[in-house]
Every structure is written in structure tokens, then in C-alpha cells.
Structure 1
Amino acid sequence: MASIAKRPDGKYRARYRDDGGKEHAKHFVRKVDAQQWLDEKTAAIVTGQYVNPRAGMVTFSSYFADWSQRQVWAPGTDKAMRLAAQSVTFPTVQLRALRRSHLEQWVKAMQTADRGAGRPAGLAAGTIRTRFNNVRAVLRAAVRDRLIPSDPSAGVTLPRTRRAEAAMELPTPEQVRALLDAAGGRFVAFVALAAFAGLRLGEAAGAQVGDVNCPGRTLHVRRQVQRGPGGTVLVAPPKYGSERTVFLAPALVDVLSRHIADYRPGTDARRWLFEGEPGDPPHQNTVGYWWRKTCRDAGVAGFTLHDLRHYYASGLIAQGCDVVTVQRALGHASAAVTLRTYAHLWPTAEDRTRRAAAALMDETFGPSADSVRTREA
């Protein structure tokens, strides 16, 4: 029920009852403004979009603390969400008072933050985008919980990230060979799994001997190693969609077989393929040390271990593998993720046209069309 009544002082009092039966009122100088306000509130109630004006009095940090307890997150997601929530510049601002300007100020603060002597100012554009999207998930949840009528982060401009083709620098085959030669010992197989099977650092560190099927030339990715509390090693399931079977090249099977025979002999299929502290898989910091030493010894600079995963993907694409094949090999959650990352590596229509025309000429004139040009000369 809604109504408008003129008060003795000449103002108009508009009243309505929300979907819970509670009455709300507001005073206006003009009757037309009172009617417009009532129309908006009534429409929101009828369409199910009504938000109690008092509902958003909770602060951002308080809402996140309550909301996050109800979420089913993997440990890595939980850590990323908390890091993003703790980085905002508006933790004590009530949700109903949050404005787009609050989000813009936070983004600017991340972009210009002083990160200490010798380090570049501000966070990388990709990091800012990730934190922003995580906080935006919180605000959208508040909209669904009817604490605020709309998401104040909508339309905020973020720093531009580099295009994948510009940002991605792949090691050459010669550089990968130099890294394998320099790795030596037990780290050779680790580097090989990244370069020729596309395993992430945590996935390779979390592999067990029983995951390797040498006769079948496959490796099953079942788990990953993450940083645990206090610098401990945490073994967790792979990222969503990343549990998979990787089909191995015969030469890679030989590398793994020699590694197991030389460094991980035994009968327990659950023994770690690579070992850090006795009985544990290697910590990410340990793998990082091995990688930096290998790069230094190989004289190769400017690459991360993850770049070998990109090297593997580029090889699959160069051999004509389609998007779904590459997605499954890399354990991406969807083909869209694969395309966002590697679309620039697939041949363009021009490339395919030239190859098709070249194949047609080869079929017509033999293995090489040079004879046509020779006769013309």
C-alpha cells in the first residue's frame, strides 16, 4: 500500500510498505517528486528488485567476512579473494554508501602504489584486473543478497593489459635444449614435463610415480602443490577442469623412466616423482631455486618455468591441433580460456590460404613449384 498526504507545513509525505510489511516514508516539497519516488519503490517491489534502505548499512569488510564463510573455494581461490578484499581502500565504508568513485580511487592506488626500493611502482595491470574482479564478485553477491540495488564497480576503467601476442615471449628450441642440458640430475625431468607435457609448476611438483603410465605413454594429473600456511607444502586438487590425462611423447617417457630408475626407485606408487624434504614433494620456493640456477647455468634469461607451458602449447598448435585438443592437453576450464591465451598462435585465414595454394601447386607441378618459375625465366 502506498499513499501521499499533504502535511500542515505544505510538504508532501509519501509512504509505502515493503515486501516485509514494514512502512517507509519520505517528505518532498513537490507532489510530483513524491509520486515519482513511490512509483520507483512500487516497481522495485513488484519486480523483486526492491532493496531495504537500511540493508546496506553493513561495511564492505564486515560483509566480506560473513559472505566468504559461506563460499566453497579451493585454497588458492580463498587466498586470492582475501588478498583482494584486504587491499581495498574502502573497508569501513557501508555498502549503501559505496560509489563508483571509491572503486576508481582503489584502482588508482594499486596502479601507483610504492612497492619498495628497487621495485617498479604499482601493480601489474593483470594483477589489478584480477583483484578488481575478485572484489566485484563480492559486490555482485551483495546485489543478489539485496543489500544494494546495483553494483558500484560497473563501468570502472582498468589499466590496459598487453595483448597476448605482445606479452607472450616464447623460448626458442635452442634455449629449451640449453635449459635441459643445464638442469642436470633430477631437475631434467621436471623441465621436460613443463616443456613437453605442459604441466604447471604445482602439477609437476605434485606428480607421483603411479601417475606415470610408461607402457601407455600417459601421465594423469591428479593434484598440485601449493604454498601452505607458514611456508609449508600444501597438496591440493588441480585447478578446476585441470585434472586430465596427458599423452606423452615416447622420448619424454624415456626421460621419466630414467628419472624414476635413477632417483625414485621403489615399489610404492604413491611416492613423489620429485622430492623436496624427505617424504614431501618439492616446495614452490625450492623449484624456483632450481629453475633460477638452471637459467643461470644455461645462460638463458627472461623466462619463467610457466613459459615452457606456453612453449608446449605453441608446439601443439604448430602441428595443427585444434582448440579443444589444446584445451584438454593444458587442462583449461574452457576453450574460451585457451583462445584468450593462444588465439594469436593459430594460423590466420591468410596463412591457411597460402598453404592450401602451395599444396595445390605442389600437387600440380611436383614437390616444388620452382620448375614453373624456371621455365618462365
Structure 2
Amino acid sequence: MASIKQRPDGVWRARYRDDAGKEHAKHFKLKRDAQRWIDEVTASVVTGQYVDPRAGRVLWSEWTRAWMERQTWTQGTLDAAHTAVQSVTWTDDPIARVKPSDVTAWVASESKRGLAASTIATRLNYVQMAFRAAVRDKVIADSAAAGVKPPRARRAEASMKILDAEQSSAALAAAGDFRPFVEVCLFAGLRLGEAAGLQLGDVNFLRRTISVQRQVQGSTHKAANLVPPKAGSERTIFVPDELMTSLAAHVASEGISKPTDQMFVESLGRLWHRNNAADEWRKVRKAAGLPDDVTIHTLRHTFASNLIASGCDVVTVQRALGHAQPSITLNVYSHLWPSAEDKTRAATAEFMKAIRESAESPQESHSGA
């Protein structure tokens, strides 16, 4: 039910009642503006787009907390989402008051703080997800984060670090008791969490394979726990005899015997996790004289680089790395594969070489009887 009436002071009062019987009113100097407002409200009701103006008064912090509690995410995903939605500049503001300019300014401030473009992109993704959920629940009419883009990431070939043979050798020599952990990252391409989650039963010494069945999630001793790997990351990796020999020696020296025994634990028997493994790697990096931007994940990049340099196709590399789609592998490592120009030159060079060798070979002579 809606109506428009002119008050004694000449102002037009437009009002309507929502489905709950709550009256909403607004005042306008011109009757046509009042009518336009009523028409917009009526249209939103008919099309199912109506949003109660009171719903958007909920604070961003309250809405996102309730939204995250409804998700069936892993703890790692929940932690990442919580960090993202709490990093914004409007945590204590009503969600309806957030403007696109606020979101754009927040993205810019995160970039100025020195956060990596990929980190900002991840945080923005969670913020956009929260806004979209609020739109679906008719808390707000539109998402303030729609269309906001993260800063452009650096080109992979400029930002990706890859160790050469000399640097890899130095890292292994400096790793000490941490060496087997480094080896499965460098020679099997395991992520930090996957290496930390590796158990004896995951290593098949006869078939020379390593199966990724779980990972360690969490960044403290208290929070660290074993969970399934990233979706699509379960895989079997074919590894060389040399790595099997090294792992066998590690198993013997550490007295690892049961299939469920962890392959790698720190000195006090606790799981390796993101923080303590990174701390240990920093010691290795310093002792090996490697640059400060070389991380444990660099070992995985080095593994992938070696596969590509050895002629492995994208699907082979994808499966070894545990990427859900070949497109992910190409997005990260496409610059390492020979380009079309390289292949054209190489193929033509081989063709020219064959022609030249044919022209230079002596002609067979035929003699008549």
C-alpha cells in the first residue's frame, strides 16, 4: 500500500508499508520525485528486488561474522576469510553505508602497505563474496565491491624465483636435519603443508612414488593439524631412485616404522607448520647465501621448471604439481615453455640442417654393365 500527500508546508510525503506492515516514508519538494520513489519501490517489490532499508543497518563486522559461521569451509579458508574481512576500513560501519569508493580506497591502501598483488586479490575476493551474499539475502540492494579490481600482479617471469643447480646444492648442504623436508619440496614439488603432512605410508619405495593424501594446516603448534589437501591436489608423484634412497636413510635414522608415522617432525616431535618451517628455511637460506626472497615455495617452482626444461607437457606438469586444471599450470608457468617463435625457429633450423647435409653428401655413382 502506497500513497503521496502534500503537507501544509508544501512538501510531498510519500509512504508505503512493507510486507511486515512497517511504514516507510520520505519527503520531497516535488511531487514527481515522490512518485518516482514510490514507483521504484513498487517495481522492486514486484521483481523481487525489494530490500528493507533497515536491513542494511547491520554492522559489517556483525554481518561477516554470521556469514562466515554459515560456511562449510576448512579452518584455513575460514582464517583467510576472517583476515580479509577484518582488514577493511569499515569494520564498524553499517554495511549499507559502504560505498564503491571506500572499497577502491581500501584496495589502494593495502597496495601502499606493500602487500603482494596476489594477497590483495585474495582478500578482495572474500570481501566481494561477503557483499554478494548480503545482496542475495536482501540485506543490501547492490554490492559496493562489484567491479573493483585488485592491483595488477607482476608478470610471472619477473617475480618467480627459480634456483639453479649451484644454489640448490648449497641449500641442500646447509639444510642439515631439515634436508629430507627440503628434498621432497625440491625433487617432488610438494607444497610446505603437503611435505609437513607426509606419512610413511604415503611413500612407496618399491614403486618409487609419493602420494599426497593430506597436508598440515595452521601456523602455530596449537593450531597445526592434519587435513585433506587442497581440492584436486591429491596425486601420486613419480620420483627417482636417488630421492627414495635419501628418504629410506631418513626413515632408518629416525626410527620411523608405522604407516601413520609422520615423515618429518621438528626436534620436539611436533608437526612442522607454516611458521616454524619458514623459520627453519630462513636459517638454511642464510647459511646457503641465497637471496631473501627465496622461500620454501621456490623449491616447488624449481621442480616445475626442471620438468618443463626436460620437455614435459603441460598435463604432465599439472598432475605432478596437483593443479586442478591445466590452465592453472599455464597461468603460473607458461613463460617457462618454449614459445611458438622458439619452436618455429628450432623446427626450421632442423629442416635446413637436413637439406644442407643432403646437399653436401656425395652422390652415388651408377656404372653400366
- Separation in structure 1 between the aligned mates of residue 326 and residue 38 of structure 2, nearest angstrom: 47
**Paired AA for residue 141 in structure 2:** P
The answer to whether the 8 Å contact 1:272/1:280 transfers is: no
- The secondary structure found in structure 2 opposite 1:25 is strand
Q: Are residues 31 and 320 of structure 1, via their aligned partners in 2, closer, same or farther at CA, if it must alter by over 3 Å? A: farther
- The secondary structure found in structure 2 opposite 1:219 is strand
What pairs with 1:303-314 in structure 2 (closer than 5 Å)? 303-314=294-305
Which of 144, 154, 161 is the equivalent residue of 1:162?
Answer: 154
Scaled by the length of structure 1, what TM-score is found?
0.85
The answer to whether the 8 Å contact 2:219/2:273 transfers is: no
Provide, for residues 109-137 of structure 1, a one-character-per-residue CA deviation record: whole Å limited to 9, x for no partner.
43445xxxxxxxx4333333322222222
Which of 250, 271, 286 is the equivalent residue of 1:259?
Answer: 250
- The secondary structure found in structure 2 opposite 1:32 is helix
Amino-acid identity (%) = 50
Is 1:295 aligned to residue 312 of structure 2? no
- The secondary structure found in structure 1 opposite 2:172 is helix
TM-superposed CA distance for 1:195, in Å, is 1.3
Which of 296, 306, 314 is the equivalent residue of 1:323?
Answer: 314
Is 1:188 aligned to residue 149 of structure 2? no
Question: Is there any run of 5+ residues in structure 2 with no aligned partner, and where?
Answer: 362-369
What pairs with 1:212-231 in structure 2 (closer than 5 Å)? 212-227=203-218, 231=222
- Separation in structure 1 between the aligned mates of residue 232 and residue 218 of structure 2, nearest angstrom: 20
> Aligned residue for 2:47?
47
The answer to whether the 8 Å contact 2:196/2:272 transfers is: yes
TM-superposed CA distance for 1:281, in Å, is 3.0
Is 1:281 aligned to residue 271 of structure 2? yes
Scaled by the length of structure 2, what TM-score is found?
0.87
The answer to whether the 8 Å contact 1:13/1:34 transfers is: yes
Q: Are residues 105 and 173 of structure 1, via their aligned partners in 2, closer, same or farther at CA, if it must alter by over 3 Å? A: same
TM-superposed CA distance for 1:277, in Å, is 4.4
> Aligned residue for 2:136?
144
TM-superposed CA distance for 1:167, in Å, is 0.8
The answer to whether the 8 Å contact 1:241/1:331 transfers is: yes
TM-superposed CA distance for 1:342, in Å, is 1.5
Give the total of aligned pairs.
360
- Separation in structure 2 between the aligned mates of residue 222 and residue 198 of structure 1, nearest angstrom: 14
The answer to whether the 8 Å contact 1:205/1:224 transfers is: yes
RMSD of aligned Cα (Å): 2.7
Provide, for residues 60-100 of structure 1, a one-character-per-residue CA deviation record: whole Å limited to 9, x for no partner.
01111211111111111111111222222211110111112
- Separation in structure 2 between the aligned mates of residue 173 and residue 63 of structure 1, nearest angstrom: 51
What pairs with 1:1-377 in structure 2 (closer than 5 Å)? 1-18=1-18, 22-113=22-113, 122-156=114-148, 158-184=150-176, 186-227=177-218, 231=222, 233-266=224-257, 268-302=258-292, 303-365=294-356
- Separation in structure 1 between the aligned mates of residue 46 and residue 309 of structure 2, nearest angstrom: 56
- The secondary structure found in structure 2 opposite 1:321 is coil
**Paired AA for residue 200 in structure 1:** R
> Aligned residue for 1:375?
none
Question: Is there any run of 5+ residues in structure 1 with no aligned partner, and where?
Answer: 114-121, 373-377
Q: Are residues 269 and 365 of structure 1, via their aligned partners in 2, closer, same or farther at CA, if it must alter by over 3 Å? A: farther
- Larger displacement relative to structure 2 (306-315 or 103-112): 103-112
